[in-house]
Structure 1
Amino acid sequence: MQFIIRMKIMNEAVSAGIDPFMFRLAIFVLSIFIGYFVVWSVTPALHTPLMAVTNAISSVIVVGALVGVAADAAGIASWFGFGGLILASVNIFGGFLVTQRMLAMYRKKN
């Protein structure tokens, strides 16, 4: 359902004379700013749950990258999908290691 809505918005933007690349670039830049302000407005006590949510979002990116790789076997989408797969995988595994270390700080020392 979301895919259909996104395609409808994209088609309306293209029919209005907006370049699709600039439309996507604007969404990307806005998401960077939103992510920056969301992360830096979180209190330090909530950084561990934030890391867990970030890992969950990265796993969704991995699924999207796999779909991108499978959709077009020879196109540039497969290379971008593969790059997204590698970067999101590194983010997931690194995030779990950092989360584990953060949780270890709260354990009682014997």
Structure 2
Amino acid sequence: MGLLTIFVLAVFVGFEVVSKVSSTLHTPLMSGANAIHGVVLVGAILITGVSSGPAQITLGLIAIVLGTVNMVGGFVVTDRMLRMFSARRGEERR
């Protein structure tokens, strides 16, 4: 019950913190989040590598796939935002 309480509080605090970020700080925040997601992905790979049961391996593989999608998606969004701010006059935006 204690872990569920911590999880729910973390969701609320995370939502409040992220919703208050201005758009000019979003790109640096995403870069930091991408680094954190990379660490989480490495942790998921390490834990899955030492798992023994089929349920643990399945959950580990799901964690790896979701972590990879999250990290790659963050890099794609960051790249698009940086291209939006770095476009110069006369250049065509992608």
| TM-score where L is the length of structure 1 | 0.72
Pairing partner for 1:109 from 82, 89, 92: 89
Q: Which residue of 1 aligns with 2:11?
A: 32
1:71 alignment counterpart: 50
- What residue ranges of structure 2 are gaps of 5+ in the alignment? none
Q: Contact conserved, 1:68 with 1:78, CA < 8 A, in 2? A: no
Structure having greater relative contact order (Cα 8 Å, sep ≥ 6)? 2
What is the identity percentage for the equivalent residue pairs of Structure 1 and Structure 2?
42
Query: Are the structure 2 counterparts of residues 73 and 59 from structure 1 closer, same or farther at C-alpha, using a change threshold of 3 Å?
Result: same
Are the structure 2 counterparts of residues 73 and 106 from structure 1 closer, same or farther at C-alpha, using a change threshold of 3 Å? same
2:52 aligns to what SS in structure 1? coil
Distance in 1 between the 2:4 and 2:61 partners?
20
- C-alpha RMSD of matched pairs (Å): 1.5
**For residues 33 and 99 of structure 1, what CA distance do their matches in structure 2 show?**
24
After superposition, residues 34-53 of structure 1 pair within 5 angstroms as: 34-53=13-32
- The match for 1:97 is 76
How many correspondences in the alignment?
Answer: 89
